Structure 1
Amino acid sequence: MTTATKYTITLPPADHATVMAEQWSFQLLEDGRQTSIGAHDYAAIFRRPGLYEQLFYERLRCTSPRLASEALLSALANDTGDVHRLRVLDLGAGNGMVGELLPAARVIGLDISADARDACLRDRPHAYDAYYVADMADPDDELLKQLGEWEIDAFVSISALGFGDVPVAAFVNAYNVVADGGWVVFNIRENFLDARDTSGFAELVKEMTSTGALRVHRMERYRHRDSIDGDPLFYYLFVGRKAHDLGAAA
């Protein structure tokens, strides 16, 4: 990884609404001037080497990439599988923090943001065997053809679901690229699985588990990272095997 600048970051005062919605901005001191950047303004964050890591992984103590990769390795070990044979699709790949932790035969990155791909190529150029920039909610035939040629048999999506970055349709289309019997690992914030959810993921996860489309090997509630007020944000991690495709998302 590229040696990164250490940034001067000021988090905003926390209130319940911003903590729940994650609709906050932080102040970044650059060349003597303050710049306001939204927590989900990934283009601005990824253009600054190391800022994403410093904000979310050092300051807010995110644990998810390592937990997800370790959970997959553990599931494979319990099932006498070999990670070195897997061909993994990483949806919402960002700047490659998950991809670099997976010692698979092939790891394919996919993100809607060209800035994310550029950051990955700058900071973790060996994380992926290929990195596609595309809207998986509306994939074209050529993209689906190319993904099919990788013969993908594992799927990960970490820290990407529920806030609109990866909508339900994108998740479903990516899931359906994976071969039946393939491994699936994803995480999602706990409030996107409750009865008040409007993202569509609560209904989707219920469908996946109740119909057997995903045979769950592990489901775990854990501290994903700290919120801006210092309290833990809890997510659920799912590890399982795909039994069959999902129906088209609405």
Structure 2
Amino acid sequence: MAPTTVNGTSNGTDRSHEVLHRTPSPAGGPAAPSRPADLEAARASLRLALPEPGSKFSQDDEFCVVAEPDGTWREYRFHDYDRIFGVPGLYEKIFYDVLGCDSPRFMVGLLSEALAAAGEAASALRVLDLGAGNGIMAEELAAVGVDYAVGVDILTEARDAALRDRPGLYADYRVADLTKLPAAEREALAGHRLNALTVVAALGFGDIPPAAFRTAYDHVDQDGWVVLTIKDAFLEATDTSGFGGMIGESIRSGALEVVRRERFQHRLATDSSPLLYEGIVARKRGPLAG
């Protein structure tokens, strides 16, 4: 099939159908850390192509092709994060420049509003950033005053990309499988005295299973903050991933006390249709259901 080539930093797609869009930090708030100039240069120089208009794929099967230095084109599936993180700027190019991902910025905005309403300072948070990837969520958190974050990802390539692209944002970055966490890793996480959990654009699709989310949740102090996004389909009664029952029942029981909940556009699909997610900011009041 013929691809649609995208150059520069935007594909010019009409985003008038966005559900919600907000500025996360109040005027005069902390400035976002500057990114290395070589990351920005790499991001700007990349050329990629999406499937031809009218082609529709499930979110788990989306892909693009990227121009290589020798002039050939290589295919990248969107969930092949290890390969994507290996190319500086490619993650940002695909998901932010071309497909308009806004989840980290949007969710940090909801968190900032919730903190302000509770009279709590962002600087008091000690955040476990689950599915940390190359550090975009930590960058947004730092922009509103969070100065202590611990990244966790199952991929060594993710940690390497975070250290390469956004150095200094994490107090610690652990490469670990939270479904079978060794005692030494549990102790290391416990030592950070975490009082907040963020897991944004990472739940479902086999990337972070319910058991891993539960382990991360259990490492957060009682009454701590929980910030998550999840595709709306995973919260429906017909969900088979395990998240619908776990999160839904935890909300109903009060174990997760919802402070803010909004449906919003996570990003565009490759056919320019909106991918809608649920954004939840909650307090941990008890153990997760199940």
TM-score over 0.5 (shorter chain): yes
- CA shift digits 1:183-227 (9 cap, x unpaired): 110000111111332211111111210111110001100011111
2:234 paired residue number: 192
Within the candidate set 64, 67, 78, 2:117 is matched to 78
Amino acid at match of 1:134: A
2:6 paired residue number: none
Output aligned runs, 1:1-250, within 5 Å. 1-2=35-36, 3-4=38-39, 5=42, 6-13=45-52, 15-16=55-56, 18=57, 20-30=58-68, 31-102=70-141, 103-246=145-288
Q: CA RMSD of the aligned region, Å?
A: 1.3
1:15: how far off? 4.0
Partners of 2:256 and 2:288 within 8 A in 1: no
Distance in 2 (alpha carbons) for counterparts of 1:105 and 1:224: 25
2:17 paired residue number: none
Q: Counterpart of 1:165 in 2: which secondary structure?
A: coil
Partners of 1:180 and 1:245 within 8 A in 2: no
Distance in 1 (alpha carbons) for counterparts of 2:207 and 2:164: 22
Partners of 1:111 and 1:117 within 8 A in 2: yes
Mean Cα displacement is larger for which, 196-205 or 144-153?
196-205
Mean Cα displacement is larger for which, 217-226 or 198-207?
198-207
Distance in 2 (alpha carbons) for counterparts of 1:97 and 1:184: 17
Q: Counterpart of 1:146 in 2: which secondary structure?
A: helix
1:82: how far off? 0.8
Amino acid at match of 2:82: A
Q: Counterpart of 2:184 in 1: which secondary structure?
A: helix
Q: Counterpart of 1:171 in 2: which secondary structure?
A: helix
- CA shift digits 1:60-119 (9 cap, x unpaired): 000101011111111000000011011110000000000112132411000000000000
Unaligned runs of 5+ in 2: 1-34
Amino acid at match of 1:156: T
Bigger Cα Rg: 2
Partners of 1:92 and 1:160 within 8 A in 2: yes
Amino acid at match of 1:41: D
Name segments (4+ residues, structure 1) moved above 4 Å.
Answer: none
Distance in 2 (alpha carbons) for counterparts of 1:27 and 1:196: 34
Unaligned runs of 5+ in 1: none
Q: Counterpart of 2:219 in 1: which secondary structure?
A: coil
Partners of 1:100 and 1:128 within 8 A in 2: no
TM-score of the aligned structures, taking structure 2 as reference length = 0.82
2:9 paired residue number: none
**How many residues get paired?**
246
